[in-house]
Amino acid sequence: MTIPIALTIAGSDSSGGAGIQADLKSFAANGVYGASVITALTAQNTQGVSAIHQVPAEFVTAQIDAVFSDLAVKAVKIGMVSQRPVIEAIVAGLDRWSPENVVLDPVMVATSGDRLLAADCVEALRRGLIPRAGIITPNLPEAAALLDEAVAGDAAAIENQGRRLLALGCGAVLIKGGHGHGPMSTDYLFSGTDILALQAPRIATRNTHGTGCSLSAAIAAGLAKGQDLETAVGRAKDWVSAAIAAADRLDVGHGHGPIHHFFAFD
């Protein structure tokens, strides 16, 4: 049996709700075999992060080469990378192996609003990774941080930021609306001259840990299976919305719990 393969390059979440663990669950739930390159180890749970151990750039390179030299990777999802040498190692790896589909989730802003990346890392992200991505998936604060300006407050400002992010050289931009307000959560997909609004009801739950990681991984899974970009994004949006809606079926931890990746198997 031949199965599509997707690779996640991201940090590990010891509680299993986000990062590498969420990506691998998302791949599996969407019918794709998952491989991983770990960029950092975190000691964390549903209540927060207590420690981070950074993985050396040369070991990130070793993981990338080990995976690509053996596995037929159809799509790559890149999550949080917090060291400039690691970003440079990933850029070099992408150039060396030329994967067809690259999904970049630019994790830059914590839920508290704090910046997670130093200025030189943000610039490396802009100049190195964004031009090599087929699609980037920032939320509203991350889109603003990439452009070094205020968070967009209305649809016109979101359109302006989306088009300017597209001009950085990526193939498409998905600005996620989870940090917005109102009864509907609207994501905006910018691709060429087109804008597609994808809506889903906003769900009242505290169990949303790993939502962004899981969405970008589900997009990568769709691309790995040969879906076109619009189809992959639309199906990923529907899947993650259902996973959020089912999150309260789980009882994991005492803080912000994970979404329910395997709701379809209940």
Active site residue ranges: 176, 208, 210-213
Q: Which long-range contacts (CB under 8 A, 24 or more apart) does 122-129 make?
A: 122/146, 124/84, 124/87, 124/88, 125/81, 125/87, 126/168, 128/87, 128/88, 128/90, 128/91, 129/78, 129/81, 129/87, 129/90, 129/91, 129/94, 129/104
| Farthest CA pair distance, the chain | 49
d(C-alpha 263, C-alpha 191), whole Å: 31
